[in-house]
Amino acid sequence: MHHMGWGSYIRFDDSEPRPNIDRATLKRVLSYASSYKIEMGVVLVTIVVISILTVVPPLLMKGLIDTAIPDKNLTLVTLLGLGMVAVPLINGIVGVVQRRATAGMGEGVIFDLRGELYDHLQGMSLGFFTNTKTGELMSRLNNDVVGAQQAVTGTFVSLVANILGAATVLAVMFGLEWRLTLLAVAMLPLFIFLARRVGKLLGEVARSQMDASAAMNAHMQETLSVSGSMLVKLFGRNDDERSRFSGNAGTVRDLGIRRAMIGRWFFVGIGIVSALGTAAVFWVGSVMVINDIITVGTIVALSAYLGQLYGLLSGLSNARVEFETALVSFERVFEVIDLPHDIEEAADPITLDRVHGKVELSDVWFRYSDSSQGLQAVKRYGWRGVTEVDDPDSRMSSDGWTLKGVTLAAEPGQLVALVGPSGAGKTTTTYLVPRLYDASEGTVTIDGYDVRTLSFDTVAAAVGVVTQEPYLFHDTIANNIRYAKPQATDEEIRDAARIANIDEFIMGLPLGYDTKVGERGYRLSGGEKQRVAIARVLLKDPRILILDEATSHLDAANEAMIQEALKRVMEGRTSLVIAHRLSTILAADEIFVIDHGEVVESGTHEELRAKGGLYAGLYETQFADSRVRAAVDVDHG
The pLDDT, as a whole number, for residue 85 is 94
Nearest to 547 by CA among 525, 569, 517, 521: 569
Report the side by side order of strands in the sheet with 574-578. 463-466, 544-548, 574-578, 415-419, 590-595, 598-603
pLDDT category at 574 given cuts 50, 70, 90 is: very high
Between 435 and 314, the more confident residue is: 435
- For position 153, what pLDDT does the model report? 76
pLDDT at position 233 is 86
Domains of the chain with CATH codes: 17-337 (1.20.1560.10), 359-367+397-472+520-627 (3.40.50.300)
Q: Give the residue among 500, 491, 484, 486 at the shortest CA–CA distance from 532.
A: 500
Mean pLDDT of 397-422: 87
Percent of the chain clearing pLDDT 70 (strictly above): 87
Cα distances from 134 to residues 104, 120, 221, in angstroms, run 30, 15, 7
The pLDDT tens digits of the residues spanning 149-169 come to: 777 777 778 888 889 999 999
Q: What is the pLDDT of residue 3?
A: 38
pLDDT score at 523 = 72
Residue closest to 270 by CA, chosen among 309, 215, 244? 309
Predicted confidence band of residue 369 (pLDDT cuts 50, 70, 90): low
Q: Is 409 helix (H, G, I), strand (E, B) or coil?
A: strand
Of 371, 424, 431, the closest CA to residue 396 belongs to: 424
Q: What is the pLDDT of residues 468-487, one digit of tens each?
A: 778 888 889 999 999 999 99
Residue-level pLDDT at 549: 77
**Which of the 8 DSSP states describes residue 601?**
E
Average pLDDT over residues 191-198: 79
pLDDT of residue 10 exceeding 50: no
- What is the 8-class DSSP label of residue 623? I
Burial state string for 439-463 with b = 16 or more CB within 10 A and e = fewer than 16: bbbbbbbbbebebbebebebbebbb
Q: What distance in Å separates the CA atoms of residue 631 and residue 29, rounded to the nearest whole number?
A: 58
Tell me the CA distances in angstroms from 28 to 279, 327, 528, 568, one per residue in order: 43, 11, 50, 54
pLDDT number for residue 335: 85
Please give the single-letter amino acid code of residue 398. S
* Sequence-separated (6 or more) residues with CB below 8 Å from residue 584: 415, 417, 549, 566, 577
At 1, the pLDDT band (50, 70, 90 cuts) reads very low
With beta carbons less than 8 A apart as the criterion, state whether 80 and 63 touch.
yes
Please determine, for residue 555, whether its predicted confidence score (pLDDT) is greater than 50.
Answer: yes
Which pLDDT score, from 0 to 100, does residue 321 have?
A: 67
Lowest mean pLDDT among 172-181, 552-561, 611-620: 552-561
Who has greater pLDDT, 555 or 626?
555
Q: How confident is the model at residue 100 (pLDDT cuts 50, 70, 90)?
A: very high
- Looking at the predicted structure, is the pLDDT value of residue 566 above 90? no
User: How many angstroms separate the CA atoms of 156 and 154, rounded?
Assistant: 6
pLDDT digits (tens, 9 = 90+) for 330-355: 888 888 888 888 888 889 999 999 99
Which of 221, 9, 223 lies closest to 135, judged by CA? 221
- As a whole number of angstroms, the distance between CA 353 and CA 349 comes to 13
429 or 135, which is more confident: 429
Instruction: Report, as an integer, the average pLDDT of 490-513.
Output: 91
Residue 457 has pLDDT above 80, yes or no: yes
Question: In the prediction, which pLDDT does 551 show?
Answer: 55
Average pLDDT, the chain: 82
- Among 69-78, 401-410, 554-563, which is the least confidently predicted range? 554-563
pLDDT at res. 520: 52
What gap in Å lies between CA 160 and CA 124, rounded to an integer? 38
Contact 380, 572 (CB under 8 A): no
130-134, 241-245, 293-297, 434-438, range with the lowest pLDDT: 130-134
Give the mean pLDDT of 376-399.
37
